[in-house]
Structure 1
Amino acid sequence: MKEETGDAEVAVVVRGLTKAYGGKAVVDDVSFTVHKGEFFGLLGPNGAGKTTTLEMIEGLRRPDGGSVSLLGLSPWPRNTSLLTRIGVQLQSSAFFERLTAREQLTTFGALYGADTDRTEELLALVGLTEQAETREDKLSGGQRQRLSIACALVHDPEILFLDEPTASLDPQARRNLWDVLRGIREQGKTIVYTTHYIEEAERLCDRIAILDGGGVIAMDTPTELISGLGRPTSMELPTSVIGPDDVRRLPGVEEVTEEDGRVSFRAADPGSLMQALTEKGIAGSLQIRAASLEDVFLELTGREYRS
């Protein structure tokens, strides 16, 4: 597990963080550093300890052990001097009843004593300009999530904390929110967020800490995590054109596995394999797949169902 330090300014330093309930550790000796301007992800299956870790960093929950430095200050006991410097978006967003999107932002801004001139800018940033006069209870799920993030940004915080912001969104809404998060990152904000969507973490994050069982089991850039897996490029064919037993009889084929209607394998002699596939008339069905962050995730956390 690689932890970068260097001379860059840091936004968050977590050291030996622990939290237990009923004698069971849900966060167990978690340590990492987040640099200013970095998009840092906490990736893990359900129950890995992501939300509890984030809440302790935000100062919403008291740690049992370890320490957190947030912009050089301790967030616990509740540090009110940090409130205007951080933005927090929880899993369940709460809005003021019967207010429009614009009114929500204006009201949140007033609570922070923030400049309400940013309202139109924030609506544009999260793609809600056309919904500015729509009441929040009339917005779609994706639009509500984007409004929630805008409310967390209304006071122009230095760090934005997001807890599974794309949970329960349809694929289109999730991709739209990715664009919003990239736009926030381009403004120089530090982003710390949790997710269990592997592709999302791979696309968005500068670095990722993979959590499981309450602890950090791997941490690095997505590229380095994939490279460290040491898994060679594999080939795939649909079982509708050839079965796994027939694949095993092809020249130079190794490590044959079958899953989700596809046969995956490696080839010691790709030239001979391609010739054999061409003779069978199925070379056009061959797909070459490089290792991904999903492979890393499954290798580290296993494939069993998590409730």
Structure 2
Amino acid sequence: MSTSESIIQCQHLQKSFQQKAVLSDISFSISKGQIFGLLGPSGAGKTTLIKILTGQLSPDGGSVTVFGKKAETLTGEDKREMGIMMDQFGLYERLTCADNLNIYADIYGISHRSAADTLAAVGLADSLKKPAACLSKGMTARLKLARAFIHSPEILFLDEPTSGLDPASMQTIHQLILKKKQEGCTIFLTTHNMEEAASLCDTVALLNDGVIVDQGAPDELCRRYNYQKQLLLHLSDGKDITLPQSGSSAESLYTLLKEEQIITIHSSEPTLETVFLELTGKSLQEAE
């Protein structure tokens, strides 16, 4: 499979529970080695979509293919090529970090040495004998991530992997995710953290009330909704000024640069958060 081929593809996916639509007309494609972010508030349908992509639920309509096969027909061997990190997939809290991973090593038929190596890869080499119940939130997240990729899967499904973590722990998880991408792993990431999505994802889809309202590369999406087209300048005298992002500003900009008055200069592209607000009429906080 070349890097340009789709490893996951959804076309007009539909899913309802008790006659209430949870996912409506969902379409997207993910290439091998890409980080795809599904962004939206809690209750938007993100976890339901992961369950469909991994064959845990069947769609009501449309088509879903993973590895070129319909998701609902994936075999055990196919699913072995997946790693899943979801909040409801808990750890064995009384068992040590090593024993937690050894269970999965046995399931996948790999050595306990691989479990130890995987713990080292996520920075838990000094916590092999520590019970999972004694871990911090950040360490728990790293152990769950280690469990998801202990068997070197082709696809990682990460459902809100940094939810509730402090900035330092979040950064550690981000580094681990990017390392897996560098190794050729395809990553399907759900999050309501727009900054996280902007820094990690090649492509993002904005999901609201079960509908993808737009999708594309993060920078591309932000440029698409840049209606203001302004330059924001902070000057050495402490003033902030705004100039139109056009030829009419060239002379003023030249003068300020020549006189070395500009401390910072930024264009006015919106963030993914403000794009979401533009498309849905509500912020993620309100949506939750």
Same fold, TM-score > 0.5, yes or no: yes
Runs of 4+ in 1 over 6 A off after TM superposition: 270-275, 283-287
> Is the CA contact 1:13–1:32 (under 8 Å) kept in the aligned structure 2?
yes
Which amino acid letter does the alignment assign opposite residue 302 of structure 1? G
Out of 168-177 and 74-83, give the one that drifted further. 74-83
Deviation string 1:144-169 (CA, Å, 9 cap, x unpaired) is: 11110111111221111011111111
Q: What's the secondary structure of 2:206's corresponding residue?
A: strand
How much has 1:38 moved relative to structure 2? 0.9
Alpha-carbon distance in 1 for matches of 2:262, 2:31:
46
Q: TM-score, normalised by structure 1?
A: 0.79
How much has 1:296 moved relative to structure 2? 2.1
- Corresponding residue number in structure 2 for 1:90: 86
Residues 1:17 and 2:13 aligned together = yes
The 5 A counterparts of 1:107-256 are: 107-231=103-227, 232-235=229-232
> Is the CA contact 2:54–2:79 (under 8 Å) kept in the aligned structure 1?
no
How much has 1:96 moved relative to structure 2? 2.0
Alpha-carbon distance in 2 for matches of 1:287, 1:52:
42
Q: What's the secondary structure of 2:50's corresponding residue?
A: helix
> Is the CA contact 1:114–1:155 (under 8 Å) kept in the aligned structure 2?
yes
Q: Identity over the aligned pairs, expressed in percent?
A: 34
Deviation string 1:229-254 (CA, Å, 9 cap, x unpaired) is: 233245388xxx99xxxx9xx9x878
Out of 15-24 and 73-82, give the one that drifted further. 73-82
- Corresponding residue number in structure 1 for 2:258: none
> Is the CA contact 1:44–1:211 (under 8 Å) kept in the aligned structure 2?
yes
Alpha-carbon distance in 1 for matches of 2:52, 2:232:
44
> Is the CA contact 1:208–1:220 (under 8 Å) kept in the aligned structure 2?
yes
Alpha-carbon distance in 1 for matches of 2:193, 2:31:
23
- Corresponding residue number in structure 2 for 1:104: 100
CA 1:285/1:193 → structure 2, altered by over 3 Å: closer, same or farther?
A: same
Alpha-carbon distance in 2 for matches of 1:60, 1:116:
28
Residues 1:296 and 2:287 aligned together = no
Instruction: State which of 64, 67, 89 in structure 1 corresponds to 2:63.
Output: 67
* Aligned positions, number: 276
Alpha-carbon distance in 2 for matches of 1:126, 1:293:
29
Q: CA RMSD in A?
A: 2.9
Residues 1:35 and 2:31 aligned together = yes
- Corresponding residue number in structure 2 for 1:306: 287
Instruction: State which of 43, 47, 51 in structure 1 corresponds to 2:43.
Output: 47
Alpha-carbon distance in 1 for matches of 2:52, 2:189:
13
